[in-house]
Structure 1
Amino acid sequence: MESLTVNGNVQNGQNGKSTTDKKQAMTMIKKSQEQGMGFNETMDWYKDWTATYDQEVESVQYAGPRLVGEYLMKYAKERGIQGRSAILDVGAGTGLVGQILRDIGYNNIDGVDASDTMLEIAREKSIYERLYSAKLGEGNKLPMIDDTYDAAVMSGIFVQGHVKLDALLDIIRLVKPGGLIVNAMREENTREVDEYLNIHEVFASWTKKGLWKCLEHANPPVKFYAEYHPLVHVYEVTK
């Protein structure tokens, strides 16, 4: 499988360059995470944003997908997670994470997202085996059977008005014992968004219940995007 390295100079796209105006991109990103926006409002916002989403997140050098790829590879080989292993891209959106996974050699990827318009873009890229349209968390159960996947990955889903932490309980259900869960998010959200203020206490409680164990919490020396910082969680399912 192809190697992938993320360092202090990581950039997406061609040398991190984009013709998209970065100020406009940040306006769109901040609007999608606006305080007080509910789930339905957020989904409506994505309908309007889908057409320019990929270009705009590229313009702010969104490193989340590459971080997910790097940390998955770091722990996957010793667990036998290879090219045809089943991987679930949670909050797949337009397929940015899925494309990274394809690029580094994974080719049995499913995706799930609540935005049908974003999934239409992902489908056009021919990255995924299957795509599911579903709301994550809040007691919703995804249609896949238990222990379907060798790993689940996600980037940027834990932001204001998007996905609640309890969504991970259903993801744990879907990942086989010994499988991996890799999450990349904006570190600032653990201090600024009410839903995630106690994220590490919640994760620790699931460890105590025997659902998973922590392999790594990392703060890579890169920007998640723009001026924001990344936080990466890597867990092994132990249920």
Structure 2
Amino acid sequence: MFRYLSIFLFFCVKSHCSFLTLNRMWLFWTTVHQVWQQTPFHPISVMKKHGFGHFVGIDGSEAMLEMARESGLYQDMKHSLLGEEPLPVHWAASFDVIVIVGALSVGQVPVCMVRQLCKSAKPGGYICMTTRSNQDNVEYKAALESELRQMEEEGLWTRVEVTEVKDWERAVSEQEDGYISGAVYLYKKLRA
């Protein structure tokens, strides 16, 4: 079983206000990380308990979107291969939290998409991203981290936390056994 969210990307809006405390975000992330293997939709259930009420999902697979529809947890879903088309313009500065898990890696979502993720977050919103740290993804991870630093230098966001996780997910290539490591990045958007 893979340890990443089936929906490549989801966005959420707090139902009562647009404020999210760091403690709530970190509580959300640690809870999600602990239960990731139980069900791909559990993170949204956790977020609902913390006052989030509107969830938007994106995936490149119609089959995964159908599973998401059947869960009843998402209010809106979009079929899209990130990087082949931009995120909708009307999403700019719309979301309190953006989470992308299991898609920022070589051959999947291009590094340039992190700027669009940042644009979609409200000022003060959080962007949580993950990538693999295995052999196949070394160059991608270096390019991703370079872009994250560049965006911080430009004053678009600030780094809240970066955590390296030893046993992130089960290895899937023939060159690796057991589990591979990965990284979790949490950033806070500073301005529109």
AA matched with 1:207:
E
Q: Which runs of 4+ in 1 moved over 6 A?
A: none
Structure 2 matches for 1:1-239, cutoff 5 A?
A: 56-57=1-2, 62=3, 64-65=4-5, 76-78=20-22, 96=40, 98-104=41-47, 105=49, 106-137=52-83, 140-188=86-134, 192-225=137-170, 226-239=178-191
Q: CA deviation at 1:152?
A: 0.1
Distance 2:112 2:151 in 1: 11
Distance 1:79 1:144 in 2: 29
Distance 2:23 2:91 in 1: 21
Q: CA deviation at 1:211?
A: 1.2
Equivalenced residue count is: 155
Distance 2:133 2:90 in 1: 30
Q: CA deviation at 1:216?
A: 1.0
SS at match of 1:197: helix
Distance 2:90 2:70 in 1: 22
- Give me the identity figure in percent: 20
Q: CA deviation at 1:138?
A: 5.1
Normalised TM-score (structure 1): 0.57
Could you report, residue by residue, the CA deviation over 1:158-211 in whole angstroms, capped at 9, with x for unpaired residues? 12321001111111111001100001222226x635433322111111111111
Q: Which has the higher strand share?
A: 2
Give yes or no for contact 2:59–2:65 (8 Å, CA) kept in 1. Answer: yes
Could you report, residue by residue, the CA deviation over 1:1-25 in whole angstroms, capped at 9, with x for unpaired residues? xxxxxxxxxxxxxxxxxxxxxxxxx
Q: Which has the higher helix share?
A: 1
Distance 1:200 1:160 in 2: 13
Give yes or no for contact 2:162–2:183 (8 Å, CA) kept in 1. Answer: yes
Give yes or no for contact 1:79–1:179 (8 Å, CA) kept in 2. Answer: no
Distance 1:142 1:113 in 2: 14
Partner of 2:28: none
